[in-house]
Amino acid sequence: MELTPALARLMQELEKLPGVGPKTAQRLAFYILSRPKEEILSLARAIIDVKERITTCRRCFNFSEEELCTICKDMSREQSTLCVVADPLDLMAVESSGAYKGLYHVLHGVISPLDGIGPEDLRIRELIERLKCEPIREVILALNPTVEGDATAHYIAELLKPFNLKLTQLAMGIPAGGDLNYADRMTIARALIGRREFSETAE
Amino acid sequence: MELTPALARLMQELEKLPGVGPKTAQRLAFYILSRPKEEILSLARAIIDVKERITTCRRCFNFSEEELCTICKDMSREQSTLCVVADPLDLMAVESSGAYKGLYHVLHGVISPLDGIGPEDLRIRELIERLKCEPIREVILALNPTVEGDATAHYIAELLKPFNLKLTQLAMGIPAGGDLNYADRMTIARALIGRREFSETAE
């Protein structure tokens, strides 16, 4: 039973969002109906703005509202280190650690033959171009430790051989606050391989 | 860390929605960014339309895009039975059962002193007015079996005494497909009180 055509259409649109089923769509639609008009127009405006204003940075392919993103424009960042990530969400995750002050390169995906995504669908060619003209000395491959992430990292590592670069990847091991008892075998194995000298002061 | 101002503002707006935390807001915002523009404009349009087009039916206070809602306009519905519900979602639930063909009256809430909602905040006065001029013979109080719902039902029942009406409420008992073992004591007690003659053919 539909209450009104506008409400039915809104529920239909909301159901397209990830993780939103019919009941959630109904709840959201009724919430939207119940709020003051200005509040809802502000939500609609924010949705439209994101589509109208955001493009990708022409240098690193991070999301940006200008030709160059805030990170590329920030000349106080280390210009000799480049962190390669799969997508802008991963970039945000690395940024939120506060432990990285260099530049980024966003691939916009990983190689995944099953999904029909090959190297030419990613920003790999542009990465090579950057390395030819920018004074990069270290490339950090910060890809997820999954089959696709590893394959992409290996593919890029191969392409980067001709460049005289330090090539690194994120350390793998037990997460901070994690429990050995709940860590999977692969994580423990990688933590053992990557073990380091004990130091009294945690870094 | 915020990627761009527009994206940060969208996440902020999305976080206001019920059941949406920072991570879900991020996921939804990135989904919105990744979809074709027409699809997202259509979502924004649906949100705005709901606020601009929907009002309440002047007779039953159901949501409507016209002066009278689709149910009130449908003259094939029984004009002598009135089902009183707390809100349009409950109306939808009763409608979806397909077992009711009469009219509705939407209170838009229940009496709840703790939330500062008194009888004068609900469409109770309008209900009494309707009963004075419409040929209603039965009023079904279809309010939730909660403390507030019960209090509201009793309050309305008291007001309806002067009218020569059949006053009913929904049957309470074990839900269809339910399990006695998992039913709470109150539900079992009410199912026992409301027990009826065994019939071979399920109704």
Return mean pLDDT, chain B: 90
Residue B65 is assigned to a structural domain of this protein: no
- Least confident stretch, B110-114, B158-162, B198-202: B198-202
Mutate to test the interface with B, among A26, A27, A37, A50 (most CBs of B within 10 A): A50
Residue A151 is assigned to a structural domain of this protein: yes
Q: Domain tally for chain B?
A: 2
Whether A189 shows a pLDDT value over 60: the answer reads yes
Reported as a single tens digit per residue, the pLDDT across A52-91 is: 999 999 999 999 999 999 999 999 999 999 999 999 988 9
Which residues span the domain enclosing B26? 5-53
Same domain (yes/no): B88, B184: yes
Return mean pLDDT, chain A: 90
Q: Is the dihedral of CA B16, B22, B25, B30 positive or negative?
A: positive
Q: What number of residues does chain B have?
A: 203
Reported as a single tens digit per residue, the pLDDT across B33-77 is: 989 999 999 999 999 999 999 999 999 999 999 999 999 999 999
> Is the predicted ipTM greater than 0.90, yes or no?
no
Whether A1 shows a pLDDT value over 60: the answer reads no
| Burial group, residue A129, by CB count within 10 angstroms (0-12, 13-18, 19+) | exposed
Whether A110 shows a pLDDT value over 90: the answer reads yes
Selecting from B4, B44, B63 the residue whose C-beta is nearest the C-beta of A48 gives B44
- CATH number, residue A120: 3.40.1360.10
Mean pLDDT value of segment B83-96: 90
pTM of the model: 0.72
Whether B12 shows a pLDDT value over 90: the answer reads yes
Residue B63 is assigned to a structural domain of this protein: no
pLDDT at A127: 97
Same domain (yes/no): B177, B89: yes
Across the interface, do A32 and B50 touch by the CB < 8 Å criterion? Answer: yes
Across the interface, do A47 and B24 touch by the CB < 8 Å criterion? Answer: no
User: DSSP characters for A11-78?
Assistant: HHHHHTSTT--HHHHHHHHHHHHHS-HHHHHHHHHHHHHHHHH-EE-TTT--EESSSS-HHHH-TTS-
Q: How far from B40 is each of A16, A22, B8, B18, B35, CA to CA, in Å?
A: 10, 19, 17, 20, 7
Residue A69 is assigned to a structural domain of this protein: no
Alpha helices (H) in B35-146, listed in sequence order = 37-53, 70-73, 88-97, 124-133
Same domain (yes/no): A44, A100: no
- CATH number, residue B13: 1.10.8.420
A116 and chain B in contact, CB less than 8 A: no
pLDDT at A199: 67
How far apart, in whole angstroms, are the C-alpha atoms of residue B78 and residue B118?
Answer: 31
Residue A200 pLDDT grade (very low, low, confident, very high; cuts 50, 70, 90): low
Same domain (yes/no): A141, A49: no
Same domain (yes/no): A86, A10: no
Nearest to A49 by CA among B75, B200, B11, B176: B11
